[in-house]
Amino acid sequence: MRTLIIGAGAVGGYFGARLTAAGRDVTFLVRERRKAQLEQTGLNVTSPHGNFSVKPKLLLTGEISEHFDLIILSTKAYQLTAAMDDFAAAVGPQTAILPLLNGMAHLDLLANRFGEQAVLGGSTRIVADVDADGTVHSLEPLHDVVFGERDKAVTPRIQAIATELANAGFDDKLSPDIIAFMWQKWVFLAALGAITTMLRGSIGEIQSVPYGEETQRAILDECANIARANGYPTPRDFLSAITKRLTLPGSVLTASMYRDMMRNGQVEADHILGDLLSRGRNHAVDTPLLQAAYVQLGVYQRKLPQS
3-class state of residue 121 by DSSP: strand
Query: Which residue ranges make up each domain of the chain?
Result: 2-176, 181-302
Tell me which fold the domain 2-176 belongs to: Rossmann fold (3.40.50)
Residues facing 71 on adjacent strands: 4, 97
The reported pLDDT for the residue numbered 246 is: 98
What is the Cα–Cα distance from 180 to 177, expressed in whole angstroms?
6
CA distances from 159 to 93, 99, 149, 180, 231 (A): 18, 17, 10, 19, 27
Q: What is the CA radius of gyration of the chain?
A: 19
Spell out the per-residue pLDDT of the chain, length 307, in tens.
999 999 999 999 999 999 999 999 999 999 999 999 999 999 999 999 999 999 999 999 889 999 999 999 999 888 999 999 999 999 999 999 999 998 999 999 999 999 999 999 999 988 888 999 999 999 889 999 999 999 999 999 999 999 999 999 999 999 999 999 999 999 999 999 999 999 999 999 999 999 999 999 999 999 999 999 999 999 999 999 999 999 999 999 999 899 999 999 999 999 999 999 999 999 999 999 999 999 999 999 999 987 5
Residues facing 171 on adjacent strands: 144
User: 91-102 b/e with 16+ CB inside 10 Å = b?
Assistant: beeebbbbbbbb
DSSP conformation letters of 180-223: HHHHHHHHHHHHHHHHHHHHTS-HHHHHTSTTHHHHHHHHHHHH
3-class state of residue 25 by DSSP: strand
**Checking phi first, is residue 37 left (phi over 0); if not, alpha (psi -120 to 50) or beta?**
alpha
Same fold for the pair 2-176 and 181-302: no
236 by Cβ neighbours in 10 Å (0-12 / 13-18 / 19+) ranks as exposed
Note the CATH number of domain 181-302. Answer: 1.10.1040.10
The reported pLDDT for the residue numbered 307 is: 59
Nearest to 271 by CA among 259, 279, 263: 279
